[in-house]
């Protein structure tokens, strides 16, 4: 991809590799974003850092210095979450891994050393794989307040292929007690959606009065897609009503839940296929998605700040975008890029496209999708134009 095709409203690193976003938090009058980062290289490796960016509006991000780096204790610093207490105190929870055995990590905490959240100090290990439970993977803590206490979820999987979200609770964010399996599903369950052998980045949050569990589906050392269930939180257990698929195509993964400054539930995702190795950067994040429920179905739409910045697509571009051909037929959207083809269901509602340079996001009634397109010569679709484009088809 050419340098002129760097997206404007999808966060990309100044240089180096990024993947999972996490810890989007409103603090000190702006949003803080943290993310997996490898300075100086454009391919994934286990020696991950935590990057940091800030924004006034969830749309335009300014990258700051790395806040956590590997050391003699942490071979790699993998995904986690950030919470802010009612008093304004911040706390990080991250996965610390050994480079030679990265699938099984531990959860460590960190605190900010300054009000700007530009400097953080590492603290003790607060959670580790429970004794007596055989695990093939353990990582990605997500911390929330469930209305009664602080609760931590950690993604995991067993050697027999059962995906898990394990749970700890705490009264103060300092002392944590393991309370068991929050939710699980065997890889043999495929109806109505397969949810893999390991759940990465489990996210638990409320939309209205319902609880939603979003997981990133992982199996055989491959990232697949995101799935979710709407249900209830009963005595520390998540009781799903139905499992569904959330994301399609080669883009979205590792969704990170947060609440914007107006109280709206949101998700932010890693976009896997956006890369410019010639100019030394790789990885992007989606725009923020605002969530709502239609029965037991989770609906995602571009955050209102995106809608305010968007302009209509020129006529005809809803069918062809760069190298991508789109066809909507029989309630199924098909996308073809070179020799690759994938589909997503679109029953019961319109499809919304968001085009931002090399990045295309699709919002439909049954999920979201994203893909990257190569360099284009059409000036109406370049990132040099006044704004990102959005339309319905």
Torsion angle in degrees (nearest 10) through CA of 143, 144, 145, 146:
-110
Which one is catalytic: 20, 74, 140, 356?
A: 20
Helix or strand run (H / E) with residue 37: strand 30-38
Q: What are phi and psi of 67, to 5 degrees?
A: -105, -25
Place of tokens 């589909």: 343
Integer Rg of the chain from CA: 20
- What token pair was written down for 218? 């992982």
Query: For residue 125, which of 109, 104, 101 has the smallest C-alpha distance?
Result: 109
Locate 249 and state its tokens. 């195509």
Per DSSP, the three-state class of 64 is: coil
20 annotated active-site = yes
Which residues are CB-contacts of 153 (< 8 A; sequence separation ≥ 6)? Answer: 141, 142, 143, 144, 165, 166, 167, 182, 202, 203, 204
Rounded CA gap, 384 and 370, in Å? 21
The residues annotated with a catalytic role in the active site are: 20
């Amino acid at each position: 991809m050419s340098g002129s095709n760097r997206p404007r409203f999808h966060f990309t690193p100044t240089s180096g590799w990024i993947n999972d976003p996490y810890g989007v938090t409103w603090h000190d009058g702006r949003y803080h974003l943290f993310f997996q980062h490898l300075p100086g290289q454009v391919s994934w490796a286990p020696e991950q850092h935590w990057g940091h960016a800030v924004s006034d509006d969830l749309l335009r991000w300014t990258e700051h210095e790395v806040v956590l780096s590997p050391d003699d204790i942490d071979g790699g610093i993998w995904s986690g979450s950030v919470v802010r207490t009612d008093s304004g105190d911040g706390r990080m929870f991250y996965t610390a891994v050994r480079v030679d055995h990265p699938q099984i990590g531990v959860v460590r905490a960190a605190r900010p050393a300054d009000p700007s959240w530009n400097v953080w100090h590492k603290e003790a290990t607060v959670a580790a794989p429970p004794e007596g439970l055989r695990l093939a993977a353990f990582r990605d803590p997500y911390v929330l307040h469930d209305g009664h206490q602080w609760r931590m979820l950690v993604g995991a999987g067993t050697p027999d292929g059962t995906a898990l979200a394990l749970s700890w609770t705490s009264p103060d964010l300092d002392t944590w007690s393991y309370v068991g399996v929050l939710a699980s599903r065997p890889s043999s369950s495929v109806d109505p959606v397969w949810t893999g052998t390991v759940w990465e980045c489990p996210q638990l949050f409320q939309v209205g009065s319902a609880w939603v569990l979003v997981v990133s589906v992982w199996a055989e050392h491959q990232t697949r897609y995101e799935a979710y269930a709407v249900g209830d939180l009963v005595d520390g257990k998540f009781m799903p009503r139905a499992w569904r698929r959330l994301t399609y195509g080669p883009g979205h993964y590792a969704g990170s839940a947060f609440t914007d400054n107006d109280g709206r539930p949101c998700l932010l995702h890693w976009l896997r296929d956006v890369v410019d190795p010639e100019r030394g950067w790789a990885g992007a994040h989606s725009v923020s998605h605002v969530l709502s429920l239609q029965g037991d179905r989770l609906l995602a739409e571009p955050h209102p700040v995106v809608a305010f910045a968007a302009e209509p697509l020129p006529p005809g571009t809803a069918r062809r975008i760069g190298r991508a051909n789109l066809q909507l037929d029989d309630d199924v959207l098909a996308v073809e890029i070179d020799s690759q083809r994938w589909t997503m269901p679109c029953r019961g509602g319109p499809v919304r496209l968001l085009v931002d340079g090399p990045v295309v996001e699709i919002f439909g009634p049954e999920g979201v999708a994203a893909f990257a397109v190569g360099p284009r010569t059409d000036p109406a679709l370049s990132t040099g134009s006044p704004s990102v484009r959005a339309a319905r088809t």
